[in-house]
Amino acid sequence: MTETTSATEPATASPGEAHTRSRYADLTRDELAAVVPELLLIGQLIDRSGMAWCISAFGRDEMAQIAIEEWAASSPIYTRRMQRALGYEPAEPGRGDVVTIFKGLQLDIGAPPQFMDFRYTVHDPHHGEFHLDHCGALLDVEPMGEDYVRSMCHDIEDPTFDATAVASNPRAQIRPIHRPPRTPADRHPHCAWTVIIDDSYPAAEDHPALATIGASRAATLDLAPIDPADEGASDYAGPLVSDLDFASFSASALTRMADEVCLQMHLLDQSYALAVGKRAAAEEQTLGIRRKQLTGLAGIAAERLARVLRIPRTEEGAVRLLSLHPLLNPAAYVAAAPDGTGVEVRRGPADEDRAWIWLVDPAHTGPLQAIVRGLDPHLDVEVAPLTDGTDGWRLEVVRREEAAPEDGSVAVTRFSAGAGFAFVERRSLPIFPV
């Protein structure tokens, strides 16, 4: 078991080194506080978009295995990144406590706030519990039948929870108290789990694909540090709280969170691509599945971001929406230059990883169309190669007379209640051992 490896460590910037400016830095602090939970929920919808195509292509059992490989090969990497960014990483690598694990879950696309409503109890540094008052993923899957519920809540959950714990302490075990299928059918909470850290437990092992994903540009990407002088909290080093009050964080911290959450999505997608590619008959099948996943997510993500930011349904509004969409973020990863009428995209780190933006070009514009049509179905894109001989393309947003029908991939993703889920204001309270 390798608790921390160079493959999962971002490069360390030299003092005074310039960083690519985040595109989220243009948002106000209030806007950022609303956008970060939206991005966390959008990340959860990656599987709502992608797994439908895996079931169709490979069947339910293989879909479950893809999900296990997808999360286990990416979540330890992005969990450690967020620990470092927000100052709650263990003093000794691999020796995190229950609070470290719970803080990580609160900033994980696998557990977006409220939609996956985790409630935490801490008994001491090595013992805790959590339960889900609301599990949006369960409510999405229950109509599909008990076999699908067992696949998610048993087959997938067990190894992926262990992978989550590995990021903080390899001798942590997350085990069920009860979980679905629900008996009775309306049982609440939806599930409950214990978290115990014990040095006598065998150390959980890294998934074999973790090293592959850990060597990606996304895993090692260097982002601008949080400015400790900015107004508001610059870290999460204090007590665990029941619900993160994103508005209490500084604009600098929220900007870093937004970029890190987008990287979580890219890392998860890379794991997804690796797992799908192992099963696909040919690369063309892998690319087709990945583009459907991206298109479905792109449209729903655009709708949610446009709604929370009140982006006007204009061509200029569409460019702003594109500039803030996870497809084009973080700026240090995706080499895109939005302007008043369009976006210029050149080869960058994301292309080296064959990330989402690599799937888009003048011949494959579906994800870009889904984004602008998430703002207004009359909007469209025209994409052409750059004329200066460099590797890239330029997108122009245009308006059509007739509204376009909803893309089938977007309709599949809309099946999830997460597409229309509304956050509510909550009071953030510290959690102390009981």
Q: What is the 3-state secondary structure (H, E, C) of 331-386?
A: CCCCCEEECCCEEEEECCHHHHCCCHHHHCECCECHHHHHHHHHHCCCEEEEEEEC
Q: What angle do CA 8, 352, 265 make, to 5 degrees?
A: 55
Residue 143: CB atoms within 10 A of its CB come to 9
> Are residue 207 and residue 289 in the same domain, yes or no?
no
325 in a domain, yes or no?
A: yes
Structural domain for 74, as ranges: 27-271
Q: How far apart are the first and last CA of the chain?
A: 32
Q: List all residues 6 or more positions away from 367 whose beta carbon is below 8 Å from its beta carbon.
A: 291, 294, 295, 298, 327, 356, 359, 360
As beta bridge partners, residue 197 has: 172
> Are residue 237 and residue 313 in the same domain, yes or no?
no
3 in a domain, yes or no?
A: no
Preceding omega of 180 cis (within 30 degrees of 0): no
> Are residue 318 and residue 233 in the same domain, yes or no?
no
> Are residue 378 and residue 265 in the same domain, yes or no?
no
Output the pLDDT for position 376: 98
365 in a domain, yes or no?
A: yes
Is the CB of residue 304 less than 8 Å from the CB of residue 42?
A: yes
Q: Which of 428, 370, 372, 427 is nearest to 396 (CA)?
A: 372
> Are residue 230 and residue 317 in the same domain, yes or no?
no
What Rg, from alpha-carbon coordinates, does the chain have? 21
Q: Which of 269, 222, 268, 228 is nearest to 250 (CA)?
A: 228
Output the pLDDT for position 7: 39
What is the distance between the alpha carbons of residues 407 and 206, in angstroms, rounded to a whole number? 38
What is the distance between the alpha carbons of residues 192 and 194, in angstroms, rounded to a whole number? 7
> Are residue 263 and residue 389 in the same domain, yes or no?
no
Output the pLDDT for position 101: 97
89 in a domain, yes or no?
A: yes
> Are residue 123 and residue 213 in the same domain, yes or no?
yes
What is the distance between the alpha carbons of residues 146 and 77, in angstroms, rounded to a whole number? 32
10-residue mean pLDDT series, the chain (434 residues) = 38 56 98 98 96 97 97 96 97 95 97 97 98 96 95 94 88 96 94 96 92 97 97 98 98 98 98 98 98 98 98 98 98 95 96 98 97 98 94 97 98 97 95 89
> Are residue 126 and residue 234 in the same domain, yes or no?
yes
422 in a domain, yes or no?
A: no
Is the CB of residue 327 less than 8 Å from the CB of residue 356?
A: yes
Q: Which of 236, 143, 221, 219 is nearest to 181 (CA)?
A: 143
Output the pLDDT for position 434: 81
Dmax (CA) of the chain:
67
What is the distance between the alpha carbons of residues 242 and 121, in angstroms, rounded to a whole number? 9
What is the distance between the alpha carbons of residues 184 and 142, in angstroms, rounded to a whole number? 13
429 in a domain, yes or no?
A: no
Does pTM top 0.85 for this prediction?
yes
> Are residue 294 and residue 331 in the same domain, yes or no?
yes
- The number of domains in the chain is 2
321 in a domain, yes or no?
A: yes
> Are residue 190 and residue 301 in the same domain, yes or no?
no
Preceding omega of 15 cis (within 30 degrees of 0): no
Output the pLDDT for position 10: 44
Is the CB of residue 231 less than 8 Å from the CB of residue 209?
A: no
- In angstroms, what CA-CA distances link 64 with 148, 149, 153, 237, 269? 9, 11, 10, 35, 15
> Are residue 228 and residue 291 in the same domain, yes or no?
no
> Are residue 335 and residue 207 in the same domain, yes or no?
no
Output the pLDDT for position 25: 98
User: Which uninterrupted H or E stretch holds 237?
Assistant: none
What is the distance between the alpha carbons of residues 252 and 231, in angstroms, rounded to a whole number? 9
Domain termination residue (choose one: 211, 245, 271): 271
420 in a domain, yes or no?
A: no
pLDDT tens, position by position, 152-165: 999 999 999 888 88
Output the pLDDT for position 13: 41
Residue 204 is encoded by which pair of tokens? 């959980």
Is the CB of residue 264 less than 8 Å from the CB of residue 78?
A: yes
Output the pLDDT for position 17: 55
